[in-house]
Amino acid sequence: MPSSSDIEPLLVNWWAERGASSARLDAAGLGNSGANARNARHMQSIAAFVRQMFIDAGLEESEVTLDRVIPGYYRRSKNWDVVAIHKGHLVGVVELKSQEKSPSNNANNRIEEAIGSAHDALAVQEISEAFGKLGVWAAWGMTFNRDCEPVRRNTPKSHNFPLDLAFVPFTYARQYSIAIERMVARNVYQAGWMVETWLNPDQTVGFDEPVPSATADTLRTLIHGRVQFALTALA
């Protein structure tokens, strides 16, 4: 099962690639554009780590691919970070996102996109069964820089209805944690993974998994169960 010694190297790479990516984009004059968010190199080791979970659970290496397109319903297609298929049937898809800075600009959008992606895939399956006979199984993960919280947090100036007190006190890390916990609890996603990470004063990497139902351990357990189900159902 995943341990600190498994996860820490992933985050060391995440921090290193984020720094390298920012430097490359700044040199190209793109430091303030959306290009940084679209650069996926910092997530490659995390995606490979999740891919290996499907393989360890029993799928062949050729059956689990990275950054693969599947059809959409409300849009033409969607790139998922990890796509697992067995005998032509979809076993699982995984979306992995990160937030290294400026959460006030796009944290809400990330959550809205996550919910939309899950519903889009479900619509495809309900209408056409394009993904085979196993239904849609999806997981969503967030790697969040704990120290990117703005000093002045975004507080609604006015509202017509009482806000959910679960978000009080408000931080973007807390919002992501609650979102993932609720998406899994309500079966919007069948699994999740929430990681908060930071750099210590000595530049070593720290991290925490604040959602008990959305850790690397629970993700591996749920992937194993899904793969075993698929192997049995498609035997």
pLDDT tens, residue by residue, 188-220: 999 999 999 999 999 999 999 999 999 999 999
| Alpha-carbon distances of 31 from 22, 37, 182, rounded to whole Å | 6, 10, 34
Question: Cα dist. 97→41, 59, 176, 181, 230 in Å?
Answer: 12, 24, 11, 16, 26
d(CA 60, CA 43): 22
Domain parsing of the chain, residue ranges: 47-233
Query: What is the model's pLDDT at position 152?
Result: 64
Angle at 219 between CA 110 and CA 47, to 5 degrees: 60
Q: Using CA atoms, how far apart are residues 207 and 69, in angstroms rounded to an integer?
A: 31
What residue has token string 């990330």?
A: 110
The pLDDT of residue 192 is 98
Distance CA 226, CA 214 (A): 16
Going 31 to 33 to 39 to 42, the CA torsion angle's sign is: positive
Ranges of residues in the chain with a pLDDT under 70 are 1-4, 20-40, 152-156
User: Could you give phi then psi for residue 122, rounded to 5 degrees?
Assistant: -65, -40
